[in-house]
């Protein structure tokens, strides 16, 4: 996630595909000087979050967060890993950044699970 030279905000890739029943680790990196978030409200009902893992810059574990998660906010130049297993299929579900103005600037995409 980030902002390009023209001021357009983006998720890269802006479409994610997952297979139900498989375990994934989604690495979310914010390359900007300000925070962004990944909100996947529809999706979160349909997958099982194992944990969110946050490490310090030197690789030490800062926190593991467990339970149902719908949004992950990532601070400037930080990386968060979201571990989950999709448990229901669904096509083209929304993901977006809900910080004011960011979705309008292009920060949205879709998620498909098959
Ligand atoms: Cu954003």
Determine the CATH number of domain 2-113.
Answer: 2.60.40.420
> How far is the centre of ligand 1, averaged over its atoms, from the C-alpha of 6 (Å)?
15
- Give me 83's structure tokens: 């571990």
> How far is the centre of ligand 1, averaged over its atoms, from the C-alpha of 4 (Å)?
12
Taking the model in full, what pTM does it have?
A: 0.89
Q: What average pLDDT does the segment 76-103 reach? A: 92
Q: Read off the pLDDT of residues 17-37 as tens digits, 9 standing for 90 and up.
A: 999 999 999 999 999 999 999
How far apart (Å, rounded) are the C-alpha atoms in residues 98 and 36? Answer: 8
- Give me 49's structure tokens: 């979050």
Q: What confidence score (pLDDT) does residue 18 get?
A: 92
Q: What average pLDDT does the segment 75-104 reach? A: 93
Which residues fall inside 5 Å of ion ligand 1, going by CB?
Answer: 36, 97, 99, 102, 107
Closest Cα partner for 50 from 26, 82, 73?
82
Cα torsion 92, 15, 97, 66: sign: positive
Task: Inform me whether the pLDDT recorded for 15 exceeds 90.
Answer: yes
SS3 34: coil
């Amino acid at each position: 996630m980030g902002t390009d030279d023209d001021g357009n905000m983006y998720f890269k890739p802006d479409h994610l595909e997952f297979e139900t029943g498989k375990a994934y680790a989604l690495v979310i990196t914010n390359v900007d000087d300000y925070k962004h978030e990944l909100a996947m409200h529809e999706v979160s009902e349909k997958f099982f979050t194992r944990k969110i893992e946050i490490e310090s810059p030197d690789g030490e574990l800062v926190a593991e967060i467990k339970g149902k998660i719908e949004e992950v906010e990532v601070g400037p130049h930080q990386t968060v890993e979201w571990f989950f297993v999709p448990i229901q299929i669904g096509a083209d579900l929304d993901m977006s950044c809900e910080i004011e103005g960011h979705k309008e600037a292009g920060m949205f995409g879709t998620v498909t699970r098959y």
